[in-house]
Structure 1
């Protein structure tokens, strides 16, 4: 597919998936029922299902998938590493640790939005530490700092599970860690959307610099690119956007890794040109996976993060083998 057709095709795919998302579920709606529910203020079953359950779930799927795909594309271009993704900098691990702290110490029981707020704070703190540790030694130092911080946050999560005060607390922690869009409301949308949108603006602002950085940092600076500012925009944008996404849905892996690779060949391998298609592809991946979790009957609904991991892991293995074979 050519670059000119890629974005319109992805938009049409998203429209089709969004329409399916509004109709599909335990209670199936016809297109006529869905349309009536959107314009009829009467609080019948269809209207409640549409406005209070499926619409916020749809909006979150688009926001979360979009920011994961966008941040993955930015980080792969910034670090010039095809295996880079938001988790590499510890964003997801930091958010998970923050959420676990809220559940472990009972804050979540007293305040509905305590878990996402703590998760967002954890993501921002983790990226701040990684940036402080790796800012003076270039790309490799930043990657190593991110891995180290991620490992520490992961150890904190495991400790919380090991010493969980009750089986209920352990179950709540595990459920959150698996990632899901179930029972998300407009409150979650209102919490996450501003951070995701601001993060997206910062990430899109790196497009021109990413194209220049493909030639190397020295060459990029000779072209007038402020490399340090580019790093700062990318890291702060990732922390805000992915941190907020993880805060409201839990950890969802592989989207930031997979989405850029699905579209990169169509845009001629240009890092800057990959950003918008990767955003749309990430949104499509999460939305399609969310629909699949509703349609696949497994007793308890399969968690979104589990489903994405089950599909994304084989792709990741293929990608590792491809990079090893081609040296790309």
Structure 2
């Protein structure tokens, strides 16, 4: 009986993601459709349409799918691991570390020489933050220690990012850094997709292998150990997987917040409260939310396009405040 709602929700989300992906490929600025140009008699116009589809729309849609799925799944995993409904991928410092790594590439001017150095810097920053987390937390860290170490790393890397902004000699570098930090899928290429996808896939697989262990941890750490689950292994897979996946995602899109917080909360009443069952629906829900938000930013016909990270924050911040108020009311 419990598998039926899970399967129904998963299939519905998969269908929604497929529709949004197709819309992301074919819908442009102001809702303009690409179908007309693809059917055009003029060969030049048709060739231009295919070029737009392959080099602009398809990478944008693929990144929306991959990044959204990564943020949704890792958010659900962290909420299960930390047993905290307010946890999200930025909590362990992966997002801020990846942001700092990419910002340093902009700051020192390396981005002008090779575009792929930006995502490389982001992944390196995420992995460096992860290494510092383990140095601070120790070999067998408690959940509270992981949270405190993650908060410390996030604060420190955010401060270094602000320092780089304040000391940047070129106003153009500041402009690029700020707009990258706001988060966007615009003007991304297939090279960036190919670079980031393996890191995201490896991170997601690591997190997914901890699904049963996360279910056991809901019964308490002592009970999970009694059932034969290695707590250190579960924590390591979730934290390392999140660091890899989120670091790669942030390295190519900038910071896109609140997806990992909002999606698991919306889906938990539908699929059950076991963290393991929530992982894949959250991945689908995260992809759907990111693709939908990216379609929203294309609606304006004139003026600059709003940044995706701004839209997700406008949606997520009120939801976050509502969660805090509800948690306070439910506290004994």
Partner of 1:75: 78
Within 5 Å, give how 1:1-328 maps onto structure 2. Answer: 2-26=5-29, 28-29=32-33, 31=35, 44-135=47-138, 136-297=140-301, 299-327=303-331
- Distance in 2 (CA, whole Å) between partners of 1:316 and 1:233 is 27
* Post-superposition offset of 1:296: 3.4
- Distance in 1 (CA, whole Å) between partners of 2:295 and 2:110 is 31
- Distance in 2 (CA, whole Å) between partners of 1:31 and 1:165 is 45
- Distance in 1 (CA, whole Å) between partners of 2:34 and 2:115 is 33
State the TM-score, normalized to the length of structure 1: 0.95
Deviations 1:91-148 (A, max 9, x none): 1110111111101111111111111111110011001111221134401111000000
* Post-superposition offset of 1:28: 2.5
- Distance in 1 (CA, whole Å) between partners of 2:37 and 2:266 is 35
Distance change in 2, residues 1:224/1:298 (3 Å)? farther
Deviations 1:255-294 (A, max 9, x none): 0111111111112211110001000000011100101001
Deviates more, 1:248-257 or 1:134-143: 134-143
Any unmatched runs of 5+ in structure 2?
none
- Distance in 1 (CA, whole Å) between partners of 2:237 and 2:45 is 45
- Distance in 2 (CA, whole Å) between partners of 1:42 and 1:312 is 40
Any unmatched runs of 5+ in structure 1?
none
> Is the contact between residue 24 and residue 295 of structure 1 (CA under 8 Å) also seen in structure 2?
no
Deviations 1:19-43 (A, max 9, x none): 2112211382355756x69xx9997
State the TM-score, normalized to the length of structure 2: 0.94
SS of residue paired to 1:251: coil
- Divergent runs of 4+, >6 A: 40-43
* Post-superposition offset of 1:297: 4.3
Deviates more, 1:40-49 or 1:153-162: 40-49
> Is the contact between residue 37 and residue 45 of structure 2 (CA under 8 Å) also seen in structure 1?
no
- Distance in 1 (CA, whole Å) between partners of 2:69 and 2:44 is 30
- How many residues are matched? 325
- Distance in 1 (CA, whole Å) between partners of 2:141 and 2:188 is 41
SS of residue paired to 1:294: coil
SS of residue paired to 1:44: helix
- Distance in 2 (CA, whole Å) between partners of 1:276 and 1:253 is 19
* Post-superposition offset of 1:200: 0.9
Distance change in 2, residues 1:41/1:155 (3 Å)? same
